[in-house]
Structure 1
Amino acid sequence: MRLFVGLDVSSFDMRVCFLDGEGTKLDTFAVSNDLPGATFLKERLLERVTDQEVDVLKIGLESTSVYSFHPSMFLHHDKDLKRFGAQVFVMNPKQIANFKKSYSDMDKTDEIDAFVIADYLRFGRNQLSVVKESQYMALQQLTRSRYHLVKAMTKEKQHFLQHLSLKCNTFTQEVDSSVFGNAMMELFLEKFSLDEVAEMPLEELAAFLQEKGKNRFDDPACIAAAIQKAMRSSYRLDKVMEDSMDIILGTSIEIIRTFTKQIKEIEKSIKRIMAGLSQTLDSIPGIDPVFTAGIIAEIGQIERFEDESKIAKYAGLYWRKHQSGRFTGETTSLSRNGNVYLRYYLVEAANRVRTQVPEYEAFYQKKYREVPKHQHKRALVLTARKLVRLVDALLRSQQLFTPGKGREAMT
């Protein structure tokens, strides 16, 4: 017996369609998207397969925000369904939508969508997204949350600098941005006026910076002098405007500190989960714990993918061919599909790895010189595609990275 189950999931319910190996519709019904509904679905499935010799039992649903998470995990981990070899697939909605175009006479209804998903499984189309194990799902939620917090903090820092330029328009010109940190935040939280800072004894300001910066400045007197120069040369605001800027800067500083604290807490949880996973990606020079966790979180168990080309396609690191008859397009664009998080981590990691591993730097430079425009972007993406092969090999073999061993051709 070959049974294919399509689920069209929403926040409220799940539309279900059972198909056999010939595409015959065996059953259709709806259940609520909650524990009782999933339990009822499981019981209907067991009724269908009990006392049958099951060759294939595949259950598919689209990756629709958070709505598909609970039913996919419930069905994936159910011990009764596992006895019949049940496999659960969470698929890209774009793949289902493209497949549905072949059914030109179909309307858009939940029942039909469930049928299309089941039929997609029946044809065995590109079934990469087997449900991840719990530890990878937890890691993914943590790394994605960290990603969004970092992006939000970067945006807040830009917001802070914008208003800092209103309070002290020459500050960023005179003071090296690399020293911006806790000491600078404390300085602006004190709500000093420009004149107060400008007239403060240099030794006092230097001591303030050194205390708040926890003695991290090599030359606090030099930094203090640069700050006072900026304060003296900046435009003066009236009292109302200056007070408003102080409130905005203080609020922005507190937000940045909150982001920083929460990012550290998330990183502690990421570290705990990573300690329980067997992996050797962190042996690659340049791939720090952040990139290692991000890549592993998005890939999950490596067995989900047949080979490295499937990982590259999942990340959107592939190029569509443009060919018609004897014509083949010389320029092709990078796919817009794929997992944006995995693509981000791979590209950023590749940029670090190339500075540490000569083989990758040589590959990057070779690709950089091949075209007259978009050199860096193109070369970096191609280097990331090369890195995918190494990531796949290390995750499958669990071996440490060895420079020069198993070198790939620069093609």
Structure 2
Amino acid sequence: MPSTLFVGIDVSSQSNSVFFIDQDGNNLIKKPFSVSNDIPGADSIISEVISHANAINASCVKIGMEATSHYAWHLHLHLASSPDLAPFNPKFFVMNPGVVKGFKKAYTYLPKTDDFDARIIADCVRFGRVNPTPMPDFRYAALQRLTRFRYHLVQTISSEKSRALNLLYLKFSSFKEDCPFSDVFGSASTSVFDSFTPDEIAVMPVEELVDFVLSHGNNRLKNPEEIAKTLKSAANRAYRLNPDMCDTVSMTLTMTLENIRFLESQLKKLDKEISKQLNGFRQTLTTIPGFGNVLAAGLVAEIGDVKRFKNECAVAKFAGLVWNKYQSGNFSAEDTSLAKCGNQYLRYYLVEAANCVRIHAKEYADFYCKKYNEVTKHQHKRALVLTARKLVRLVFAMLSKGQIYQPGGNG
């Protein structure tokens, strides 16, 4: 009688641990075997799978592995594209490690080793509470590399700016508080605190400081005399740094500013490439007020083929925009937390998009204000996340139907 072979693979950077069980949970090998995480190792897995599938007359092979960073990517594609496995109707399950960790708790004490993990992964697939993982669409995957890299690049820029502000406080403690510029990291602003110490600004003639500010502000600054007076006032109030530290703090601040400028130039290049890649997709998200190519690309890349999702609730769950419920007896909690268990990149782009849309679309501005005024704590974050959840409905409807944005008319 035909049966199913279940394969568990514990993936790591250098090796893969493999285990086989049948549909009744019986071990087909005494202990997992290990192969290298490369093409020869993957081919060895294919040979062993075929051998054990024939031994139990298997008509189907189900192969499970954890989504361990990027280490499972090549193995999954190599096995899925193997013509030798095709007769066994293979199905692949690249699972969230949290699912396997939770499943493992159903067992009595087990050590955390690759040998046991491979066995647990195979058993997790056998129980059938996980969904097969389709082959990736490489068009979306290529765009995804760019949008995800942009996410990390933005985080890096943010970290560098925080570091720069810490150094700025040491060099010029009152600058941020009294900053007369609209952007602390603007060209004129950074030129001032990078070029001068508070002592130098305090003794500098106002006319000379005005000329410096104008030359580095592209002559676009309004009331430069007032800016110069504010800078001199801030310089007089600022703490003085120990002379032994002045040179080192100035040097590290200068280098940090150079890092920021370089990273921001890279961000501009990346945004151009993202816009170029987005042109290869049919989408209407850019017709939403406040949506640019970057936000649209981030959503398109992470959602992929919208037909994968049954409804907008499935997209929200995939993004982690769902709230935990707590109920016991007659008690039901009103204050619940965001699950945050889904795709962090999709959640990031949805929240960023919501922040833009609430500024440009009245419907979302009104919704944001309503949610903002409902509570007294975490007002902005709560209202923004709820606006992002509302935006999911619009995004799903527009991607599904190919419609352009219509105020109050989509979905």
TM-score normalised by structure 1 residue count: 0.83
Which residue of 11, 17, 25 corresponds with 2:19?
17
Residue equivalent to 1:143: 147
Q: 1:112, 1:217 → 2: CA distance?
A: 66
8 Å CA contact 1:135–1:273 kept in 2: the answer is no
For residues 59 and 369 of structure 1, do their structure 2 counterparts lie closer, same or farther at Cα, with a shift above 3 Å needed?
same
Question: How far apart, in 1, do the equivalents of 2:145 and 2:164 lie?
Answer: 28
Letter in 2 for 1:230: A
Partner Cα separation in structure 2 for residue 188 and residue 140 of structure 1: 38
Deviates more, 1:380-389 or 1:30-39: 380-389
Question: In structure 1, what is the Cα distance between the partners aligned to 2:12 and 2:385?
Answer: 36
Query: Kindly tell me: are residues 30 and 355 of structure 1, through their superposed partners in 2, closer, same or farther at Cα, counting changes over 3 Å?
Result: same
| 1:182 maps to 2:187 | yes
Correspondence 1:11-410 to 2 at 5 A: 11-26=13-28, 29-46=33-50, 56-78=60-82, 81=85, 85-104=89-108, 106-127=110-131, 130-180=134-184, 181-190=186-195, 192-198=196-202, 200=204, 202=206, 204-237=208-241, 239-371=243-375, 373-406=377-410
Structure 1 unaligned runs (5+)? none
Deviations 1:173-211 (A, max 9, x none): 433342432233334444x45454455555554444344
Distance 2:165 2:211 in 1: 24
Shift of 1:34: 1.2
The equivalent of 1:7 in structure 2 is 9
**In structure 2, what residue type is equivalent to 1:174?**
D
Number of residues paired by the alignment?
406
- What letter corresponds to residue 134 of structure 1 in structure 2? F
For residues 138-168 of structure 1, give each alpha carbon's deviation from its aligned partner in whole angstroms, at most 9, with x where no partner exists: 4334333332332232232233233333333
In percent, how many aligned pairs have the same letter?
46
Question: Which one-letter code corresponds to 1:286 in the other structure?
Answer: G
My pick for the range that moved more, 268-277 or 214-223, is 214-223
Shift, 1:394, TM fit? 2.6
**RMSD (Å), alpha carbons:** 3.4
| 2:306/2:399 contact within 8 Å kept | yes
Alpha-carbon contact 1:89-1:131 (below 8 Å) kept: no
Using structure 2 for the length normalisation, give the TM-score. Answer: 0.83
Q: Please report how far the alpha carbon of residue 11 of structure 1 lies from its aligned counterpart in structure 2 after TM superposition.
A: 1.9
Q: How far, CA to CA, are the matches of 1:162 and 1:254 in structure 2?
A: 16
Hey, what's the Cα distance between the residues in 2 that align with 1:173 and 1:375? 24
Q: State the Cα distance separating 1:49 from its structure 2 match.
A: 6.3
Question: Matched residues in 1 for 2:123 and 2:28: separation?
Answer: 12
Aligned partner letter, 2:11 = V
3-state secondary structure, aligned to 1:90: strand
**Cα displacement (A) at 1:378:** 3.0
Contact 1:63 1:92 in 2 (8 A): yes
Alpha carbons of 1:378 and 1:196: their partners in 2 closer, same or farther (altered >3 Å)? Answer: closer
Q: Deviations over 1:45-80 (max 9, x none)?
A: 455668x99875443211112322221233344466
Q: For the Cα contact (< 8 Å) 2:286–2:292, is it kept in 1?
A: yes
Residue 34 of structure 2: SS of its match in structure 1?
A: strand
